[in-house]
Structure 1
Amino acid sequence: MTTVNLAKYFGRVGLRDLQPPYTADRDTLKRVMEAQSKSIAFENIDVVQKKSISMDLEDVQKKLVEDVRGGYCFEQNTLLKAVLEEMGYSVEPSLCRVRWGKQDDSAGPNTTFTHLVLKVFTKDGIFLADVGFAGTNSIEPVRMDIGGENQELPEGRFRIVPSKHKGFFVLELLVKGEWRPLYEWRDEKAPLVDQECCNWFSCTNPKGRFTSQFFVCKIIGEERHHILNDQYVIRKGFGANSQVTTDTISDKARLETLVSDVFGIKLEDTSGIDRFLS
């Protein structure tokens, strides 16, 4: 059975001072989530290049840690799960329907399970951990307090409430006075075979977001940087007071420089990454 190499991982995310015995509490979970979010970019470059996405831990570890690449949720949270378990946490994966930016689904679900999150049991309670929902998720743990008080976190105000779909819960973010859903899930452990099926669908569906758009994202200091197709966006702050700058990428050389120098992604193969440029 493959296990994660904590020394290599901690070196990759800048946590070399973390030494055993580890304390499986909220504060340590927060440190690990923040470190990974600020060190390993969210990206779908392999999908754009029509390469397969593996959830095998050995493959994920090689790509994200050793090869200095990024990945999307099925890779990012697979890595985080392995790290936390090696540190002594108990972790359960859950599959989610993405609701952020989607059409109303009051008549019934109109999105399938294309996102993976983690339910983490700590000495301080149970938390939702997610380092793979680029752009809007909390990089701090969100307490699994269903219908409880709103949670003030560095990225904004979050809450977890029952979904309008029976048996589901939804993570919501307060945006300009309105609670907006990010994703919803059932409180059940997702078997690996289901995770692999949803991962395969996410990286092969010709109408899906990841096969039809180029996307990279990384938190740098207090800013969120992302590229969507030919738009390079920097957002500082959150909510009504956030500051956003946007620049158009017009050539492959500029895109390659941004991917390497800003997002810290080491690409051996850059073929096809410019097909979404205008």
Structure 2
Amino acid sequence: MWHGEQLDLDAYLARLGYEGERTPTLETLRAVHRAHVLSVRWDNLDSFLYRAVSLDLADLQDKLVRRGRGGYCYEHVTLYAAALERLGFDFTALSGRVRLGAEKILPATHAMLLVRVEGRAWLSDVGFGDSPLAPIELVDGNRTVIEGRPFLLRRTEVTPGADGWALHHPDGAGGWTVRHNVTLTPQYPVDYQVGNHFVATSAHSPFTRRPFLQRVRPDRLDQLDGLTWTTTPAGATEPAQERTLEPYELPKVLEDTFGLELTGHEAESLVERVR
């Protein structure tokens, strides 16, 4: 279904720097999940610059693997699903709604996988940007700390009349806030195509109105939202550092901090569009 047979698995795993076992075990899942989050950047540049994002696996391999570029959740998860399929994992694709303090119901445009391995189910969310560095077991009340980053998973009513799961992270005031929620309704590549079309092209999508990039490292998170560059230490043991950039600074920050080298045309287009 996810065209794993078309994936250049050697190239994908080399992009991740992964040299471990290729068997569908929990150890493999954890290692590939972590390597993907740390290696493949999160950005919406194609949506912002072109209002066009392809989910064709050949295009994703060229962009995310061979050219070392980044993408957003639909791109990450489509590529990741092909890899897990090729590795022999049993999984279901899901869609969730990002919350992050929003009071209104937002569209279900966040992609992730539910992976079943060794008799247990794991939420494997590699495409959030600030993604957990490991899968989280689907157990109500599961409270875990992953490399200094706390998470809480709860089963609850996620929208009126719909039960599901809500993934929480600390709210900065001693409590929890929902980062996204999800039902276990299976999703298929065609469903992701529909959501991707809205996110990449709609005037109502925030991704067509400003650049947004994220890079996770074991010790920190870098985010660029428009012209605001924020660096947050893992576990928030130290205060975040925030800086407002000038448009001309964007290409160098993208290269030096986010590991994304734009072509000359892309760099010019990005600076001009932001201006």
TM-score, length basis structure 1: 0.88
Q: Residue type matched to 2:144 in 1? A: Q
Give 1:275 shift: 4.7
SS in 2 for 1:243: coil
* Counterpart position of 1:257: 252
The CA distance in 1 between the partners of 2:28 and 2:94, in whole Å, is: 21
The CA distance in 2 between the partners of 1:191 and 1:89, in whole Å, is: 16
The CA distance in 1 between the partners of 2:230 and 2:170, in whole Å, is: 21
User: Among residues 187, 192, 195, which one is paired with 1:195 in the alignment?
Assistant: 192
* Counterpart position of 2:217: 220
1:107-256 pair list within 5 angstroms: 110-123=105-118, 125-135=120-130, 137-145=131-139, 147-154=140-147, 155-165=149-159, 166-175=162-171, 176-239=173-236, 241-252=237-248, 254-256=249-251
- Structure 1: gaps (5+ residues): none
For 1:237-261, what per-residue CA distance to the aligned partner results, in whole angstroms no more than 9, with x for missing partners? 224x343111221142x21111122
Give 1:138 shift: 1.4
Aligned-pair identity in percent equals 24
The CA distance in 2 between the partners of 1:242 and 1:83, in whole Å, is: 36
Is the counterpart of residue 45 in structure 1 residue 45 in structure 2?
Answer: yes
TM-score, length basis structure 2: 0.89
For 1:40-72, what per-residue CA distance to the aligned partner results, in whole angstroms no more than 9, with x for missing partners? 110011111124111111111111001110000
The CA distance in 2 between the partners of 1:211 and 1:237, in whole Å, is: 29
Alpha-carbon contact 2:210-2:274 (below 8 Å) kept: no
The CA distance in 1 between the partners of 2:99 and 2:207, in whole Å, is: 16
| CA gap 1:271/1:163 in 2 versus in 1, 3 angstroms | farther
- State the Cα RMSD in Å: 1.9
The CA distance in 2 between the partners of 1:250 and 1:6, in whole Å, is: 40
Q: Residue type matched to 2:39 in 1? A: S
User: Among residues 18, 21, 41, which one is paired with 2:20 in the alignment?
Assistant: 18
User: Among residues 231, 241, 262, which one is paired with 1:267 in the alignment?
Assistant: 262
The CA distance in 1 between the partners of 2:15 and 2:114, in whole Å, is: 24
Give 1:235 shift: 0.8
Alpha-carbon contact 1:161-1:171 (below 8 Å) kept: no
Is the helix fraction higher in 1 or 2? 2
